[in-house]
Protein backbone atom coordinates (compact mmCIF):
# COMPACT_ATOMS: atom_id res chain seq x y z
CA UNK A 1 0.00 0.00 0.00
CA UNK A 2 1.46 3.35 -1.01
CA UNK A 3 1.27 6.04 1.63
CA UNK A 4 0.68 8.59 -1.10
CA UNK A 5 -2.41 7.52 -3.01
CA UNK A 6 -4.54 9.94 -1.04
CA UNK A 7 -4.98 13.46 -2.39
CA UNK A 8 -3.86 15.71 0.48
CA UNK A 9 -4.81 19.35 1.03
CA UNK A 10 -1.30 20.29 -0.02
CA UNK A 11 -0.75 17.44 -2.47
CA UNK A 12 3.01 17.35 -1.90
CA UNK A 13 2.83 17.39 1.91
CA UNK A 14 1.85 14.34 3.90
CA UNK A 15 0.18 15.42 7.17
CA UNK A 16 0.71 13.53 10.45
CA UNK A 17 -1.37 10.35 10.61
CA UNK A 18 -3.78 10.08 13.55
CA UNK A 19 -4.36 6.50 14.63
CA UNK A 20 -6.50 6.95 17.74
CA UNK A 21 -8.30 9.46 19.89
CA UNK A 22 -9.15 9.58 23.57
CA UNK A 23 -10.98 12.48 25.24
CA UNK A 24 -9.47 15.78 24.16
CA UNK A 25 -6.34 14.09 22.76
CA UNK A 26 -5.48 12.45 19.45
CA UNK A 27 -2.42 10.22 18.93
CA UNK A 28 -0.34 9.90 15.78
CA UNK A 29 1.33 6.78 14.40
CA UNK A 30 4.66 7.98 15.82
CA UNK A 31 3.00 8.14 19.25
CA UNK A 32 2.70 11.89 19.48
CA UNK A 33 -0.05 13.11 21.85
CA UNK A 34 -1.84 16.20 20.52
CA UNK A 35 -4.44 18.22 22.43
CA UNK A 36 -7.30 18.76 19.95
CA UNK A 37 -7.85 22.41 20.85
CA UNK A 38 -10.46 23.04 18.17
CA UNK A 39 -11.94 19.54 18.27
CA UNK A 40 -10.91 19.26 14.60
CA UNK A 41 -12.96 21.97 12.90
CA UNK A 42 -15.04 22.79 16.03
CA UNK A 43 -16.61 19.35 15.71
CA UNK A 44 -15.57 16.94 18.47
CA UNK A 45 -17.71 18.33 21.29
CA UNK A 46 -17.70 15.06 23.25
CA UNK A 47 -14.03 14.45 22.67
CA UNK A 48 -12.76 11.26 21.06
CA UNK A 49 -13.53 7.63 21.76
CA UNK A 50 -16.91 8.03 23.48
CA UNK A 51 -18.02 4.40 23.87
CA UNK A 52 -21.66 5.31 24.42
CA UNK A 53 -21.99 7.06 21.04
CA UNK A 54 -20.20 4.16 19.37
CA UNK A 55 -22.80 1.82 20.92
CA UNK A 56 -25.64 3.92 19.45
CA UNK A 57 -24.08 3.53 16.00
CA UNK A 58 -23.44 -0.21 16.47
CA UNK A 59 -27.01 -0.76 17.64
CA UNK A 60 -28.44 0.99 14.61
CA UNK A 61 -26.01 -0.80 12.28
CA UNK A 62 -27.43 -4.08 13.61
CA UNK A 63 -30.92 -2.96 12.55
CA UNK A 64 -30.57 -1.10 9.25
CA UNK A 65 -27.73 1.04 7.85
CA UNK A 66 -29.44 2.70 4.91
CA UNK A 67 -32.90 3.32 3.51
CA UNK A 68 -33.88 5.36 0.49
CA UNK A 69 -35.42 8.46 1.96
CA UNK A 70 -37.54 9.20 -1.12
CA UNK A 71 -39.64 6.18 -0.19
CA UNK A 72 -39.02 5.54 3.54
CA UNK A 73 -38.37 7.19 6.85
CA UNK A 74 -36.36 5.70 9.73
CA UNK A 75 -36.45 5.66 13.51
CA UNK A 76 -33.28 7.62 14.44
CA UNK A 77 -34.13 10.36 11.93
CA UNK A 78 -37.61 10.72 13.45
CA UNK A 79 -36.19 10.76 16.97
CA UNK A 80 -33.51 13.32 16.14
CA UNK A 81 -36.01 15.59 14.37
CA UNK A 82 -38.30 15.43 17.41
CA UNK A 83 -35.42 16.25 19.79
CA UNK A 84 -34.47 19.33 17.79
CA UNK A 85 -37.91 20.66 16.85
CA UNK A 86 -39.56 20.06 20.21
CA UNK A 87 -36.86 22.13 21.90
CA UNK A 88 -38.22 25.28 20.21
CA UNK A 89 -41.74 24.37 19.08
CA UNK A 90 -42.71 28.00 18.60
CA UNK A 91 -39.79 28.60 16.25
CA UNK A 92 -39.29 25.45 14.22
CA UNK A 93 -41.78 23.22 12.44
CA UNK A 94 -39.57 20.58 10.83
CA UNK A 95 -35.98 19.30 10.67
CA UNK A 96 -34.15 18.11 7.55
CA UNK A 97 -30.88 16.15 7.68
CA UNK A 98 -28.03 16.20 5.19
CA UNK A 99 -24.38 15.17 5.45
CA UNK A 100 -22.24 18.31 5.62
CA UNK A 101 -22.56 21.94 6.60
CA UNK A 102 -22.29 22.92 2.93
CA UNK A 103 -25.21 20.67 2.02
CA UNK A 104 -27.25 22.15 4.86
CA UNK A 105 -26.56 25.66 3.58
CA UNK A 106 -27.40 24.66 0.00
CA UNK A 107 -30.63 23.13 1.27
CA UNK A 108 -31.52 26.21 3.32
CA UNK A 109 -30.98 28.35 0.21
CA UNK A 110 -33.15 26.06 -1.89
CA UNK A 111 -35.90 25.98 0.73
CA UNK A 112 -35.89 29.79 0.74
CA UNK A 113 -36.10 29.88 -3.07
CA UNK A 114 -38.85 27.28 -3.22
CA UNK A 115 -40.76 29.16 -0.51
CA UNK A 116 -40.84 32.31 -2.64
CA UNK A 117 -41.75 30.40 -5.79
CA UNK A 118 -44.66 28.74 -4.03
CA UNK A 119 -45.78 32.17 -2.87
CA UNK A 120 -45.67 33.45 -6.45
CA UNK A 121 -42.84 35.91 -5.75
CA UNK A 122 -40.58 34.60 -8.50
CA UNK A 123 -38.35 37.68 -8.47
CA UNK A 124 -37.01 36.89 -5.01
CA UNK A 125 -33.80 35.13 -6.03
CA UNK A 126 -31.17 37.44 -4.52
CA UNK A 127 -29.31 36.82 -1.25
CA UNK A 128 -27.60 39.35 0.96
CA UNK A 129 -24.69 38.01 2.95
CA UNK A 130 -21.71 39.42 4.85
CA UNK A 131 -18.05 39.93 4.05
CA UNK A 132 -15.57 37.41 5.51
CA UNK A 133 -18.42 34.96 6.08
CA UNK A 134 -17.98 31.27 5.36
CA UNK A 135 -20.98 29.18 4.46
CA UNK A 136 -19.39 26.12 2.90
CA UNK A 137 -17.32 24.78 0.06
CA UNK A 138 -19.76 23.68 -2.64
CA UNK A 139 -19.97 26.27 -5.40
CA UNK A 140 -23.15 27.98 -4.29
CA UNK A 141 -22.37 27.92 -0.56
CA UNK A 142 -18.85 29.21 -1.31
CA UNK A 143 -20.32 31.92 -3.53
CA UNK A 144 -22.78 33.04 -0.89
CA UNK A 145 -19.90 33.51 1.55
CA UNK A 146 -16.97 35.87 1.16
CA UNK A 147 -13.79 34.12 2.22
CA UNK A 148 -11.69 35.50 -0.56
CA UNK A 149 -8.86 32.97 -0.29
CA UNK A 150 -11.23 30.01 -0.60
CA UNK A 151 -13.27 31.64 -3.38
CA UNK A 152 -10.30 32.82 -5.45
CA UNK A 153 -9.93 29.91 -7.92
CA UNK A 154 -13.65 30.01 -8.73
CA UNK A 155 -14.36 33.75 -8.99
CA UNK A 156 -16.22 34.27 -12.21
CA UNK A 157 -18.31 31.13 -12.01
CA UNK A 158 -20.33 32.00 -8.91
CA UNK A 159 -24.00 32.78 -9.45
CA UNK A 160 -24.46 36.57 -9.46
CA UNK A 161 -27.26 36.58 -6.95
CA UNK A 162 -25.41 37.57 -3.81
CA UNK A 163 -24.26 40.91 -2.46
CA UNK A 164 -22.29 41.57 0.69
CA UNK A 165 -22.45 43.98 3.60
CA UNK A 166 -20.03 44.45 6.49
CA UNK A 167 -20.01 41.96 9.33
CA UNK A 168 -20.32 43.09 12.94
CA UNK A 169 -16.60 43.18 13.74
CA UNK A 170 -15.89 45.39 16.72
CA UNK A 171 -12.09 45.12 16.86
CA UNK A 172 -11.49 46.60 13.44
CA UNK A 173 -14.75 48.24 12.35
CA UNK A 174 -16.20 49.93 15.41
CA UNK A 175 -14.87 53.48 15.54
CA UNK A 176 -13.16 54.96 18.57
CA UNK A 177 -15.72 56.89 20.62
CA UNK A 178 -18.58 55.13 18.82
CA UNK A 179 -21.15 53.56 21.17
CA UNK A 180 -22.58 50.09 20.52
CA UNK A 181 -25.88 51.76 19.59
CA UNK A 182 -24.19 54.04 17.06
CA UNK A 183 -22.25 51.11 15.59
CA UNK A 184 -25.41 49.03 15.28
CA UNK A 185 -27.19 51.97 13.68
CA UNK A 186 -24.39 52.32 11.11
CA UNK A 187 -24.58 48.61 10.20
CA UNK A 188 -28.38 48.70 10.13
CA UNK A 189 -28.31 51.68 7.78
CA UNK A 190 -25.81 49.93 5.51
CA UNK A 191 -27.97 46.80 5.38
CA UNK A 192 -31.13 48.77 4.69
CA UNK A 193 -29.36 50.69 1.92
CA UNK A 194 -28.26 47.37 0.38
CA UNK A 195 -31.81 46.01 0.57
CA UNK A 196 -33.07 49.17 -1.15
CA UNK A 197 -30.38 49.16 -3.85
CA UNK A 198 -31.09 45.54 -4.78
CA UNK A 199 -34.83 46.07 -4.40
CA UNK A 200 -36.42 44.44 -1.34
CA UNK A 201 -38.88 42.52 -3.49
CA UNK A 202 -36.00 40.78 -5.23
CA UNK A 203 -34.38 39.51 -2.04
CA UNK A 204 -35.06 35.96 -0.88
CA UNK A 205 -33.04 36.01 2.33
CA UNK A 206 -30.31 37.56 4.43
CA UNK A 207 -27.84 34.93 5.59
CA UNK A 208 -25.37 35.28 8.46
CA UNK A 209 -23.34 33.22 10.88
CA UNK A 210 -24.65 34.25 14.30
CA UNK A 211 -21.05 34.17 15.57
CA UNK A 212 -18.72 33.95 12.56
CA UNK A 213 -16.01 31.29 12.79
CA UNK A 214 -13.64 30.41 9.96
CA UNK A 215 -13.47 33.81 8.23
CA UNK A 216 -13.51 36.18 11.20
CA UNK A 217 -12.34 34.10 14.15
CA UNK A 218 -15.26 33.98 16.60
CA UNK A 219 -16.51 37.57 16.58
CA UNK A 220 -19.67 37.89 18.69
CA UNK A 221 -22.18 40.53 17.54
CA UNK A 222 -22.66 43.63 19.68
CA UNK A 223 -25.87 43.92 21.62
CA UNK A 224 -28.78 44.89 19.42
CA UNK A 225 -27.18 44.00 16.08
CA UNK A 226 -29.34 40.96 15.32
CA UNK A 227 -32.45 42.72 16.63
CA UNK A 228 -31.80 45.39 13.99
CA UNK A 229 -31.25 42.70 11.33
CA UNK A 230 -34.48 40.93 12.28
CA UNK A 231 -36.37 44.25 12.25
CA UNK A 232 -35.15 45.04 8.73
CA UNK A 233 -35.88 41.55 7.40
CA UNK A 234 -39.41 41.79 8.81
CA UNK A 235 -39.89 45.26 7.37
CA UNK A 236 -39.25 43.97 3.84
CA UNK A 237 -40.55 40.41 4.27
CA UNK A 238 -37.03 39.01 3.71
CA UNK A 239 -36.23 35.62 5.26
CA UNK A 240 -33.48 35.40 7.87
CA UNK A 241 -31.22 32.35 7.55
CA UNK A 242 -28.83 31.85 10.46
CA UNK A 243 -25.89 29.59 9.70
CA UNK A 244 -24.98 27.99 13.02
CA UNK A 245 -23.03 25.12 11.45
CA UNK A 246 -20.02 26.04 13.57
CA UNK A 247 -21.32 28.24 16.40
CA UNK A 248 -24.53 26.35 17.23
CA UNK A 249 -25.64 23.46 19.45
CA UNK A 250 -24.03 24.63 22.67
CA UNK A 251 -20.74 25.97 21.32
CA UNK A 252 -21.31 29.56 22.55
CA UNK A 253 -22.86 28.61 25.90
CA UNK A 254 -26.51 28.42 24.81
CA UNK A 255 -28.03 25.65 22.72
CA UNK A 256 -28.64 28.00 19.80
CA UNK A 257 -26.31 30.99 19.46
CA UNK A 258 -29.30 33.21 18.55
CA UNK A 259 -30.77 32.66 22.03
CA UNK A 260 -28.31 35.32 23.23
CA UNK A 261 -29.55 37.80 20.62
CA UNK A 262 -33.24 37.95 21.52
CA UNK A 263 -34.33 36.99 18.00
CA UNK A 264 -35.30 33.85 16.09
CA UNK A 265 -34.42 32.81 12.52
CA UNK A 266 -36.78 31.63 9.75
CA UNK A 267 -34.37 28.89 8.70
CA UNK A 268 -31.30 27.62 10.52
CA UNK A 269 -28.39 25.35 9.65
CA UNK A 270 -26.35 23.21 12.04
CA UNK A 271 -23.71 20.54 11.57
CA UNK A 272 -20.39 20.10 13.33
CA UNK A 273 -21.37 19.15 16.90
CA UNK A 274 -24.68 17.56 15.90
CA UNK A 275 -23.03 14.14 15.92
CA UNK A 276 -19.70 15.50 17.23
CA UNK A 277 -17.76 13.90 14.37
CA UNK A 278 -18.90 10.34 15.14
CA UNK A 279 -20.79 10.47 11.85
CA UNK A 280 -21.08 13.17 9.17
CA UNK A 281 -24.45 14.89 9.52
CA UNK A 282 -25.99 18.36 9.26
CA UNK A 283 -29.45 19.76 9.79
CA UNK A 284 -31.73 22.47 8.50
CA UNK A 285 -34.40 23.61 10.91
CA UNK A 286 -37.35 25.08 9.06
CA UNK A 287 -39.47 27.70 10.80
CA UNK A 288 -43.26 27.81 10.80
CA UNK A 289 -43.55 30.61 8.25
CA UNK A 290 -41.70 28.64 5.58
CA UNK A 291 -43.11 25.24 6.46
CA UNK A 292 -46.71 26.51 6.41
CA UNK A 293 -46.28 27.48 2.75
CA UNK A 294 -44.81 24.05 1.91
CA UNK A 295 -47.63 22.35 3.79
CA UNK A 296 -50.37 24.38 2.15
CA UNK A 297 -48.93 23.86 -1.33
CA UNK A 298 -48.73 20.09 -0.85
CA UNK A 299 -45.80 19.96 -3.30
CA UNK A 300 -42.67 17.90 -3.07
CA UNK A 301 -39.47 19.50 -1.84
CA UNK A 302 -37.24 20.46 -4.73
CA UNK A 303 -34.20 19.26 -2.82
CA UNK A 304 -33.00 15.78 -1.87
CA UNK A 305 -29.81 13.76 -1.48
CA UNK A 306 -29.13 10.02 -1.54
CA UNK A 307 -27.78 10.01 2.00
CA UNK A 308 -30.11 12.52 3.63
CA UNK A 309 -31.48 11.48 7.03
CA UNK A 310 -28.99 8.60 7.04
CA UNK A 311 -29.90 6.14 9.83
CA UNK A 312 -26.35 5.65 11.14
CA UNK A 313 -25.60 9.37 11.09
CA UNK A 314 -28.88 10.15 12.82
CA UNK A 315 -28.29 7.45 15.44
CA UNK A 316 -24.91 8.99 16.31
CA UNK A 317 -26.53 12.42 16.59
CA UNK A 318 -29.31 11.06 18.82
CA UNK A 319 -26.65 9.57 21.10
CA UNK A 320 -24.58 12.76 21.17
CA UNK A 321 -27.57 14.98 21.85
CA UNK A 322 -28.85 12.70 24.63
CA UNK A 323 -25.44 12.77 26.31
CA UNK A 324 -25.32 16.56 25.86
CA UNK A 325 -28.66 16.91 27.67
CA UNK A 326 -27.94 14.34 30.40
CA UNK A 327 -24.53 15.80 31.24
CA UNK A 328 -25.72 19.43 31.07
CA UNK A 329 -22.97 20.12 28.59
CA UNK A 330 -24.36 23.46 27.44
CA UNK A 331 -24.03 24.76 31.01
CA UNK A 332 -20.60 23.19 31.21
CA UNK A 333 -19.59 25.07 28.04
CA UNK A 334 -20.73 28.32 29.69
CA UNK A 335 -18.78 27.70 32.90
CA UNK A 336 -15.61 26.22 31.36
CA UNK A 337 -15.89 28.98 28.75
CA UNK A 338 -15.67 31.59 31.53
CA UNK A 339 -12.51 29.93 32.79
CA UNK A 340 -11.03 29.78 29.27
CA UNK A 341 -11.88 33.46 28.77
CA UNK A 342 -10.15 34.45 32.03
CA UNK A 343 -7.06 32.42 31.20
CA UNK A 344 -6.84 33.78 27.65
CA UNK A 345 -7.02 37.34 28.97
CA UNK A 346 -4.60 36.68 31.82
CA UNK A 347 -2.04 35.15 29.48
CA UNK A 348 -2.39 37.22 26.31
CA UNK A 349 -3.81 40.67 27.19
CA UNK A 350 -0.31 42.09 27.42
CA UNK A 351 1.15 40.02 24.59
CA UNK A 352 2.58 42.41 21.98
CA UNK A 353 1.25 40.35 19.05
CA UNK A 354 -2.20 39.34 20.30
CA UNK A 355 -4.34 42.24 19.15
CA UNK A 356 -7.75 40.93 20.11
CA UNK A 357 -9.29 38.14 22.16
CA UNK A 358 -13.00 37.64 21.45
CA UNK A 359 -15.60 34.93 21.69
CA UNK A 360 -18.27 33.24 23.72
CA UNK A 361 -18.60 29.92 25.52
CA UNK A 362 -15.96 27.56 24.11
CA UNK A 363 -15.63 29.52 20.88
CA UNK A 364 -12.70 31.96 21.05
CA UNK A 365 -10.57 33.75 18.51
CA UNK A 366 -7.15 35.37 18.87
CA UNK A 367 -6.28 37.94 16.21
CA UNK A 368 -2.57 38.50 15.69
CA UNK A 369 -0.92 41.81 14.84
CA UNK A 370 2.58 42.96 14.05
CA UNK A 371 1.98 46.14 16.03
CA UNK A 372 -0.61 46.22 18.76
CA UNK A 373 -1.13 49.98 18.90
CA UNK A 374 -1.69 50.58 15.20
CA UNK A 375 -3.29 47.13 14.70
CA UNK A 376 -0.91 46.63 11.76
CA UNK A 377 -1.18 43.07 10.49
CA UNK A 378 1.67 40.74 9.63
CA UNK A 379 2.68 40.40 5.99
CA UNK A 380 0.15 37.88 4.60
CA UNK A 381 2.98 35.94 2.94
CA UNK A 382 4.10 34.76 6.42
CA UNK A 383 0.71 33.09 7.07
CA UNK A 384 1.15 33.71 10.79
CA UNK A 385 -2.00 31.86 11.91
CA UNK A 386 -1.05 28.75 9.95
CA UNK A 387 2.55 29.02 11.18
CA UNK A 388 1.46 29.13 14.85
CA UNK A 389 -0.88 26.21 14.21
CA UNK A 390 1.98 24.20 12.68
CA UNK A 391 4.33 24.97 15.56
CA UNK A 392 1.45 24.08 17.91
CA UNK A 393 1.14 20.59 16.39
CA UNK A 394 4.88 20.10 16.91
CA UNK A 395 4.40 21.18 20.54
CA UNK A 396 1.35 18.96 21.08
CA UNK A 397 -1.63 21.24 20.38
CA UNK A 398 -3.91 21.55 17.38
CA UNK A 399 -5.71 24.86 16.77
CA UNK A 400 -7.51 25.82 13.57
CA UNK A 401 -5.92 28.86 11.88
CA UNK A 402 -7.50 31.53 9.67
CA UNK A 403 -6.17 34.21 7.34
CA UNK A 404 -7.60 37.30 5.67
CA UNK A 405 -9.47 38.22 8.84
CA UNK A 406 -9.56 41.94 8.11
CA UNK A 407 -10.42 42.12 4.43
CA UNK A 408 -10.04 38.65 3.03
CA UNK A 409 -6.30 39.14 2.46
CA UNK A 410 -4.80 40.79 5.56
CA UNK A 411 -5.07 39.68 9.16
CA UNK A 412 -4.48 36.35 10.93
CA UNK A 413 -6.32 34.50 13.64
CA UNK A 414 -6.52 31.21 15.49
CA UNK A 415 -9.66 29.60 16.84
CA UNK A 416 -9.78 28.02 20.28
CA UNK A 417 -12.84 25.79 20.31
CA UNK A 418 -12.08 22.73 22.42
CA UNK A 419 -14.37 19.78 23.14
CA UNK A 420 -17.18 20.64 25.58
CA UNK A 421 -15.78 18.00 27.95
CA UNK A 422 -12.41 19.73 28.40
CA UNK A 423 -11.36 20.09 32.05
CA UNK A 424 -9.82 23.20 33.62
CA UNK A 425 -6.47 21.41 33.88
CA UNK A 426 -6.64 20.65 30.16
CA UNK A 427 -7.49 24.31 29.48
CA UNK A 428 -4.31 25.23 31.40
CA UNK A 429 -2.29 22.81 29.25
CA UNK A 430 -3.84 24.26 26.09
CA UNK A 431 -3.00 27.83 27.13
CA UNK A 432 0.58 27.03 28.06
CA UNK A 433 1.32 25.21 24.77
CA UNK A 434 -0.41 28.01 22.87
CA UNK A 435 1.70 30.70 24.57
CA UNK A 436 4.89 28.80 23.80
CA UNK A 437 3.84 28.18 20.18
CA UNK A 438 2.91 31.82 19.50
CA UNK A 439 6.29 33.02 20.77
CA UNK A 440 8.21 30.33 18.93
CA UNK A 441 6.37 30.97 15.64
CA UNK A 442 6.71 34.74 15.76
CA UNK A 443 10.38 34.53 16.77
CA UNK A 444 11.02 32.47 13.62
CA UNK A 445 9.71 35.25 11.30
CA UNK A 446 12.28 37.30 9.36
CA UNK A 447 12.64 40.88 10.65
Ligand X SMILES: Cc1ncc(COP(=O)(O)O)c(C=O)c1O
Positions that interact with ligand X (CB under 6 A)? 41, 100-102, 105, 134-137, 209, 213-214, 243, 245-246, 271
Contacts of residue 19, defined as CB under 8 A and 6 or more positions apart, other chains included, come to 27, 28, 29
Residue 369 in contact with residue 171, Cβ under 8 Å?
no
- Beta carbon nearer to ligand X, 124 or 272: 272
Q: Helix or strand or coil: residue 357?
A: strand
CA distances from 428 to 58, 73, 372, 396, 439 (A): 35, 46, 25, 13, 17
Instruction: Report the nearest approach of ligand X to the CB of residue 205 (Å).
Output: 15
- Beta carbon nearer to ligand X, 362 or 431: 362
Instruction: Report the nearest approach of ligand X to the CB of residue 145 (Å).
Output: 8
- Beta carbon nearer to ligand X, 36 or 209: 209
φ, ψ of residue 239 in degrees (nearest 5): -75, 150
- Beta carbon nearer to ligand X, 283 or 429: 283
- Beta carbon nearer to ligand X, 210 or 315: 210
Instruction: Report the nearest approach of ligand X to the CB of residue 148 (Å).
Output: 16
- Beta carbon nearer to ligand X, 50 or 129: 129
- Beta carbon nearer to ligand X, 105 or 109: 105
Closest alpha carbon to 85 in 284, 329, 306: 284
Instruction: Report the nearest approach of ligand X to the CB of residue 166 (Å).
Output: 17
Quote the strand ranges of 210-333, DSSP E.
Answer: 239-243, 267-270, 282-287
Instruction: Report the nearest approach of ligand X to the CB of residue 435 (Å).
Output: 26
Closest alpha carbon to 112 in 251, 306, 104: 104
Laid out side by side, the sheet with 354-360 consists of: 354-360, 363-368, 412-416, 400-403
Instruction: Report the nearest approach of ligand X to the CB of residue 235 (Å).
Output: 26
Alpha-carbon 351 to chain mean position: 27
Closest residue by beta carbon to ligand X: 101
Instruction: Report the nearest approach of ligand X to the CB of residue 184 (Å).
Output: 22
Residue 303 in contact with residue 140, Cβ under 8 Å?
no
Instruction: Report the nearest approach of ligand X to the CB of residue 269 (Å).
Output: 7
What is the DSSP secondary-structure string of 32-81?
A: -EEEETTIIIII-TT-B--HHHHHHHHHHHHH-S---TTT---HHHHHHH
- Beta carbon nearer to ligand X, 141 or 429: 141
Q: 8-13 contacts: CB < 8 A, separation 24 or more?
A: none
Quote the strand ranges of 184-297, DSSP E.
Answer: 203-209, 239-243, 267-270, 282-287
Amino acid sequence: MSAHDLLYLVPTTVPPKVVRGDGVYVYTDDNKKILDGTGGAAVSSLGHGNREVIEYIKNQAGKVCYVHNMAFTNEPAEELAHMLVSRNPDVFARAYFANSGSEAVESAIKFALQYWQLRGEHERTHFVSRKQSYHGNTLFSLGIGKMISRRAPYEGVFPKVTSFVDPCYTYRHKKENETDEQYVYRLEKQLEDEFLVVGPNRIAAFIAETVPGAGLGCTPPVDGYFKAVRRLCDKFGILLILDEVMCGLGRTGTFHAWEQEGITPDIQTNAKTLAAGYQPISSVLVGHRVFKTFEESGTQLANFHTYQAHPLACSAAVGVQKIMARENLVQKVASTGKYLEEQLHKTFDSHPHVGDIRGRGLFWGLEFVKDKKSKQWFDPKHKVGALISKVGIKNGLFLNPGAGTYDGVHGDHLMVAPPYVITKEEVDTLISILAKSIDEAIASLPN
